[in-house]
Chains A and B, each alone.
Chain A
Amino acid sequence: MNDAVVLRTTAKLLMPFMMVFGLYVIFHGEAGPGGGFQGGVILAAAFILYALVNGIDKLETIVPERLTDVLAAVGVLIFAGTGVYTMLAGGAFLDYAQITPSNPEAGQAWGMTIVESGVGMTVASVMLTLFREFATEPAE
């Protein structure tokens, strides 16, 4: 696939737009259709497209395996951490209103955005990990 100029150029052209759209879907989750899961998949699709066109080895240079492992854990940490924080602040688990007690609506918007960003991080990382596991030869 070294001489696939058209594919490589199109992928290069589309990747930033796919990433921005993925982030838009993640952070628009509390006000419209979308959310962390769908946005994370779109975000991962941008990198998977890159890997499909340029080869799995090139993916390793921009998103190392270690980074996706760490981000998958950090996303879950953000999700659970938000829940534990609201519990420590005096509410139930993921009781977003506790984030800004003076203004519950704003707290709910913030809570959802934070949680969705954690979900998006984890989903994108796990998607990339799955793709990598399927695409690379098993080390016998």
Chain B
Amino acid sequence: MTHDEPKRPRVLAIDDSDLVHRLLRARLRHERIDLHSVHNATEGIRAARNLQPEVILLDIELEDLDGFEVLARLKADPLTRDIAVIFVSASNETMDRVRGLDLGAVDFVGKPFDVGELKARVRSALRMQRLVRMLAQRAQLDGLTGLWNRAYLDDRLAAEVATSVRYKKPLSLVLCDLDRFKSLNDTHGHPFGDEVLERAAAVLAGGRSPDVACRYGGEEFALIAPGTDLVETMGVAERHRARISEINWPDRPGIRISASFGVADLGCIDGDPTPEKLIAAADRALYRAKETGRDRVVGADRVEWPRIAG
């Protein structure tokens, strides 16, 4: 697949009849979708998890489980609950339609299906699915800077701490605070303050690909550095510090922006590692960076150093 061709949306058809699968394949051939076919509920649920399709076309009468039960299970699993499910059924019962929609199906197509209607309903489900995913992502993005927001940081940091503990891998957190931001805002106005936030955020977002940059609060940012220990992360933070201080402000000669950084890794934590303790350790280091003159990177104290580092 080339980079300029966007990935085709995946559609999973769950139906026990090969007659239906062949028909769907022929009828949806000219749509820009990847159609996958499975013949029973068990395979269907597994395929939904692995394939992560945008849309599922689900028959009601399956041999192993009925379609309602399949839908209920898909909705109960966080991995599959956001997939748009369209019932495709020969049942003409209004009760079936109501029950399907109440369980969370987005639509219902009767069998035998009208080709134009089927295509239109699949397209409509795909459109809706795109919007839902966009909204879900928007809700975790900071409106001004486009970085992940605090809510996302909390979720992601908890997940990264759990993973690092389980696999005994290093994990670091950087807290970054723009220096004298309030007086900058007061002197040059909020629009300029916003511009400073955006430019600094762009620096943090433009770092190494595994790092996760978030807006932590007003002029404070956080960077999760998975798989990276304190020393290496201090190097990363130092590069960000230097780049922020080198930002050019052609319209405002003489202005120089700087930021202070506090870095901590799991080795700086006493007792069981938690996201809160990691944030607190990085925050103490940040406080020291501010106290000792700003525009610098300070690492938190290690409770213990790995033997390899002496």
Q: Do A and B bind each other?
A: no
B residues lining the A interface (CB < 8 Å): none
